[in-house]
Amino acid sequence: MNGGKSKGLARALALSHDMLNAAEKGDLQSLASLDLTRMELLKSFRDGTKQVSAADQALLGQINEINDRAIGLLEHQRRSKGRDLDMAAVGRRAVAAYSGSRQQR
């Protein structure tokens, strides 16, 4: 019986790798879909398991590690986009300031 549960965790681990790849590409739509499927597998495992084996604990640890890496990548991308938006705003203000001074001459 535990074999089916372990297969579910192995599938969740594979989905975690797919999620990491999607995060690296910035593919948020695929990432959300993969996360939903993975969450269903993890909930099924949780609901059907009374005691977690050492092998399953290792799989859960790997899933957690990959999840942390994906979150880190997304956070880095979010901060990068924020910096880009800040720089664009600075550029717009500079253009607006320069345009105003050119017209006054």
Burial of 38 (0-12, 13-18, 19+ CB in 10 A): buried
* Each residue's pLDDT expressed in tens, for the chain with a length of 105 residues: 456 678 999 999 999 999 999 999 989 999 999 999 999 999 999 999 889 999 999 999 999 999 999 999 999 988 888 887 878 888 888 888 888 665 554
- Is the separation of the CB atoms in 8 and 44 below 8 Å? yes
DSSP state of 51: S
What is the domain count for the chain?
1
End-to-end Cα separation, the chain, in angstroms: 83
- Is the separation of the CB atoms in 48 and 2 below 8 Å? no
Domain span at residue 41? Answer: 2-104
Has this prediction a pTM greater than 0.95?
no
CATH number at residue 46: 1.20.58
